[in-house]
Amino acid sequence: MTKTVDSYRFLDGITSRMMKHWATLGSPQQIPWSPLAKPISQCTVSMVSSAGIALKSDQPFDEEIERRDPWSSDPSYRVLPRTTATGDVRVYHLHINTSFAQQDLNCVMPLERLCQLEALGEIARSAPSHYSYMGYTVRPDVLLRQTVPAIIGRLRQEQVDAVVLVPV
Amino acid sequence: MMPDLTQSVGVSRLAAIEHPFGLTLGLPGDAAGQLAVLRATLRALEEISQPGTAVHLPFEWETREKLNVYPPEAPPIARFLRRHPWYLPKFLNRTPPEISEPAAS
């Protein structure tokens, strides 16, 4: 039986209505498209997470930006090496329960699972670098003008063939 | 997770999953489940041939465990809108106030 995902299953009534309204605001535009140039088994794959994940050795995401001004958020990104494990990171996100990701990073950023697929030959390799940013972004200007181009530059440098964007 | 919203902004390809927020790939420790979701996502990446196509992954979210998927405190925007409900139209229409407008407290 074919499944149709219910976008609103885990939302309360008010938030559901809000999200349904947001879904009507998407501006029609040309959908970006790059054909996959080779089988996934020959691809270098990277992942980008909106969970606000940072290495403990790296600068934390600044949650105070959002606490001071609820329309703003930290627009920066962090790099997560392919071998990053759960104990290496902290998760900074004010809209979800981050304890699941803190118990097991693979819940939101499956780095270990991607390495497993590499070991099984199902992908060529997990890219050296993966990325995370804070997903609550009402003012996307800096994210779009600075963060995204910076991530794209690094993806190209590492000759990544495919990117999986993982929401939370 | 919210394919309606994600498709509305024109993503290239979409693998939709019916999992709670904060548990995109599955429960902590469920390595087999997480691997299955990731594998299915990459399969969708390989199979989608038309821009904007959404593949609805077949995984059912069923757990007897009562999970709290909400953050320990309400997000700042939720608290702000409760105190300043007149800003709700701006939030609904994704038109935040100008930076110079006071928004704190």
The answer to whether A8 contacts chain B (CB < 8 Å) is yes
Do the domain assignments include residue B77? yes
Query: What is the per-residue pLDDT for B100?
Result: 58
Which chain B residues are within 8 Å of A31, Cβ to Cβ? 10-12, 51-52
Q: Would you state the pLDDT for residue A97?
A: 95
The reply to whether A134 falls in a domain is yes
Option in A5, A114, A138 nearest B17 (CB):
A5
Restricting to A residues 120-149, those with a Cβ less than 8 Å away from any Cβ of B are: 122-123, 136, 138-139
Looking at per-residue confidence, does A154 or B64 come out higher? A154
User: Band of the pLDDT at A131, cuts 50, 70, 90?
Assistant: very high
Looking at residue A12, its pLDDT comes to: 85
pLDDT at A30: 87
Asked if the Cβ–Cβ distance from A94 to B76 is below 8 Å, we say yes
pLDDT of residue B105: 45
Q: Is the pLDDT of residue A162 over 60?
A: yes
Number of neighbouring beta carbons within 10 Å of residue B75? 18
Q: Count of domains in chain A?
A: 1
Count CB-CB contacts under 10 A for residue A12. 10
pLDDT tens-digit series, residues A56-112: 999 999 999 999 999 999 999 999 999 999 999 999 999 999 999 999 999 999 999
User: Containing domain of residue A61, as a range?
Assistant: 39-166
Q: What is the pLDDT of residues A14-54, one digit of tens each?
A: 889 888 899 888 776 789 999 999 999 999 999 999 999 99
User: Does residue A52 lie in a domain region?
Assistant: yes
Q: What is the pLDDT along chain B (105 residues), one digit of tens a residue?
A: 899 889 988 999 999 999 999 999 999 999 999 999 999 999 999 999 999 999 999 999 987 677 888 899 999 999 999 999 999 999 998 899 987 555 544
Domain contains A75: yes
Residue B73 resides in a domain = yes
Closest chain A CA to residue B49: A35
Short-list A32, A11, A2, A19, CA closest to B16: A2
Task: Show which of residues 22-51 on chain A sit within 8 Å of chain B, judged by CB atoms.
Answer: 22-26, 28-36, 39-40, 45, 51
| Closest CB from B16, B29, B94 relative to A5 | B16
In a domain? residue A161: yes
User: For residue A86, what are its two tokens?
Assistant: 């759960």
CB contact (8 A) between residue A107 and residue B26: yes
Count CB atoms within 10 A of the CB of residue A149.
10
Amino acid (one-letter) located at A151:
I
At B102 the pLDDT is 52
**Tokens coding B23:** 């548990």
Question: What is the distance in angstroms between the Cα of B38 and the nearest Cα belonging to chain A?
Answer: 8
Has residue A56 been placed in a domain? Answer: yes
On whether residue A115 sits in a domain, the answer given is: yes
- Residue at A33 is within a domain: no
Q: Which domain holds residue B85?
A: 3-62+69-92
Question: Quick check: A20 contacting B, CB < 8 Å?
Answer: yes
Contacts of A68 in chain B (CB under 8 A): 104
Sign of CA dihedral A62, A63, A64, A68: positive
pLDDT of residue B101: 53
**Closest Cβ–Cβ partner in A2, A26, A167 for B1:** A167
Instruction: Please tell me the total count of domains within chain B.
Output: 1
Tell me the backbone φ, ψ of residue A130, rounded to 5 degrees: -130, 170
Question: Is there a contact between B97 and A4 if contact means CB atoms under 8 Å apart?
Answer: no
**Distance in angstroms (rounded) separating the CA atoms of residues B3 and B13:** 11
Whether residue A27 is contained in a domain is answered as no
In the three-class reduction of DSSP (H, G, I as helix; E, B as strand; rest coil), residue A145 is classed as helix
**For position A90, what pLDDT does the model report?**
98
Indicate whether B98 belongs to any domain.
Answer: no
Whether residue B104 is contained in a domain is answered as no
